[in-house]
Structure 1
Amino acid sequence: MQNLTELPVNATSQTSLSVIIKVCIVIPFFCAFLCCIGVMLHIFASHRQFLDTSRYILFAYMLINDTLQILSSVLLFLFVMGQVKLVLVCCVPLLLISTATFQNTLLILATMSLERYVAIFYPLQRPAAWRSDRIWIIILSLWLLSCTYPIIEFAIGELDPAVDALSTPVSCKVTVVNSSAVQMLFKAAFYVLMFTLVAVVILFTYVRILMETRKMRQNRASVSKAMHTVLLHGFQLLLCLLAFTHPITETLIVLHANWLPEDIAFFNYFCFILIPRFLSPLIYGFRDQNLRDYIGK
């Protein structure tokens, strides 16, 4: 009888320790990310030359977008770890922000590649929308496009009749509101289309700039730098793709290790969602010579 009563206590204590360890791993990463992003945004706000360049404005926009994405992601993670349940009217906005900002990252990568293409091929006759004083039009368009997908995805879903959006607490997970077969099919088709279009844009701009590098005899250094920047956007796209590797990693872990489902889910979240999102803007920011000089100061 004594052994039977001790088993649940031991299991509960192990679960609590596991939750504490996971939270203690995620929170320092999140704080370090916020510090780095805060430094770069402070540099942008303090030096006018960055705000007069379309490329830096788009990069600052990407920093803000990734901060919102990680903030919403970490909040959802903490709610799950703490077993906090929310009503749908509070949960859906968080899920919408997390999903929309993820889509927005892909659109920003394609836009930044196109900006380099425009800067190389139309240096003196740049289209009005790509000028620094009009770039907000493109940024607003990206936000509208990225918000359209999650709104449609939530709209075509079927809510459980037993769940009241205003009063029934639920675990704030994507599977709660996106569980129907129609939503899964729509999500798969949309992501395939999105990644394909962004990859085509990045590949097109890279090839065109590469061809221009071979033809130009003057200012080849600037064109070559733009080519490497576009290549970096391709690497950032691959980092985003890591978010969809969880079926493969789950299968490999199940075959070679005896992990609990919640430990597998945390491993995928930390390694393939949090870390790539943490590294992507930092790699781009520290690679830029101007930003690196100001960060050093």
Structure 2
Amino acid sequence: MESFVIIQLAVVAIFLYINCLMIFTFLKKEAFRTDTRYILFSQTLFPDSGLILITNLSVVLIYYQVAIHFVVCCLLSVIMSLLSIVSPLALVAMCLERYVAICMPLRHADISTPRTRNMGLLIMWLISSVIPIYVLYVSLFLIPSKFLQTYVMCSIDVLFVESWQNLVRTTLFQMYFLVMFGIVLFTYVKIMKAARAASSENKKSTNKGLRTVLLHAFQLLLSLLQFICPYVESSILHIDMLLYLKVRYSNFMLFILAPRCLSPLIYGLRDEKFSVVLRNYVFFGHYTFCFKVKQHSTRCTQLNLSSAFNYHLE
């Protein structure tokens, strides 16, 4: 099992480093901070980074049998619950933004305004808060006050005194993700129709938007599968403890870490403008960028940080 922990820590360190680079890139460029698609992208980077860090800490504490104060565990569990919903909702919002940009290009500028963007972010965080508030309120109502002073092995399971609490939470999660998956499927179908009807010069952009939506749907599917994991783990627990620990670590890597690690790869590195600026920061402003000048010729230049964003990639 020690090897599982080492692999987990290595994966977490790599993707946290990548996320931090992308967050730095987003914050340093005003053009990114004022563009709806990049703002929504940041709403996956920040929650995903926080969730990866906290869940990794929780898993390591459980593995090494380290007990923490119940109130601290309660706070961490509520934050994890909140962050686990915000990021998928941001993915859905990104799909809707691509749908509007591709299928309603003339209305995109009117819909994607600072006011509507701020309202959308507020609604997104309010929706994400429903389940954490439910978990916190019901748990504090049912848990005896003397238990609040104890030390526990931190898991969200310690907040559930009655079996129906976890059942209600899981049902709400599944409803959330099924609705979100339905919205993503709707945007995919609409963009696919637009791709078929698009002219040859617009087809490249439309097809890229189609692939992005499809990858986001895959992310949501992985996130949805994590709610099946507790049932599988509970069945294995009665068979073999060692196998149970291995399955739990595998589920953590596949259905919690993996969906959160895909966002930088899907959106950040695939986005042309963002990836150019990101590479300049990675190479400290000495990134050599090649772009087409004519149909059969290519020009390469060493971009500095201030000019990288202004180049248009073919």
Whether TM exceeds 0.5 here: the answer is: yes
The one of 74, 87, 92 aligned to 2:74: 92
The one of 219, 225, 228 aligned to 2:202: 219
- The answer for the alignment partner of 1:30 in structure 2 is 12
The one of 59, 62, 65 aligned to 1:83: 65
8 Å contact 1:159–1:177 — kept in the other structure? no
The answer on 1:52 being equivalent to 2:49 is: no
For 1:46 and 1:271, locate their aligned partners in 2 and report how far apart those are by CA, in whole Å: 32
Q: What is the deviation of 1:88?
A: 2.5
For 1:117 and 1:189, locate their aligned partners in 2 and report how far apart those are by CA, in whole Å: 29
Q: How many pairs align?
A: 278
The one of 210, 225, 248 aligned to 1:265: 248
8 Å contact 2:23–2:42 — kept in the other structure? yes
For 2:236 and 2:262, locate their aligned partners in 1 and report how far apart those are by CA, in whole Å: 24
- The answer for the alignment partner of 1:188 in structure 2 is 170
The one of 237, 250, 260 aligned to 1:277: 260
The one of 96, 104, 107 aligned to 1:122: 104
Q: What is the deviation of 1:135?
A: 1.9
TM-score by length of 2: 0.78
The SS at the match of 1:172 is coil
Cα distance change of structure 1 residues 123 and 287 upon mapping to structure 2, 3 Å threshold: same
Higher relative CO (CA 8 A, sep ≥ 6), structure 1 or 2?
A: 1
The SS at the match of 1:83 is coil
Structure 1, unaligned stretches of length 5 or more? 1-17
Q: What is the deviation of 1:162?
A: 7.5
- The answer for the alignment partner of 2:292 in structure 1 is none
Q: What is the deviation of 1:191?
A: 2.2
For the aligned residue pairs, the C-alpha RMSD in angstroms reads: 2.8
Structure 2, unaligned stretches of length 5 or more? 281-314
- Bigger strand share: 2
Say which is worse superposed, 183-192 or 253-262, in terms of deviation: 253-262
Cα distance change of structure 1 residues 258 and 74 upon mapping to structure 2, 3 Å threshold: closer
- The answer for the alignment partner of 1:237 in structure 2 is 220
8 Å contact 1:117–1:205 — kept in the other structure? yes
Q: How does 1:146-185 map to 2 (within 5 A)?
A: 146-157=128-139, 159-161=142-144, 163-165=146-148, 167-185=149-167
Cα distance change of structure 1 residues 28 and 133 upon mapping to structure 2, 3 Å threshold: farther
For 1:216 and 1:266, locate their aligned partners in 2 and report how far apart those are by CA, in whole Å: 45
Q: What is the deviation of 1:153?
A: 2.5
Say which is worse superposed, 245-254 or 197-206, in terms of deviation: 245-254
Residue deviations 1:189-248 (CA, integer Å, cap 9, x gap):
212211211111011111111112223336333222222221121121122134234257
The SS at the match of 2:108 is coil
For 2:255 and 2:214, locate their aligned partners in 1 and report how far apart those are by CA, in whole Å: 21
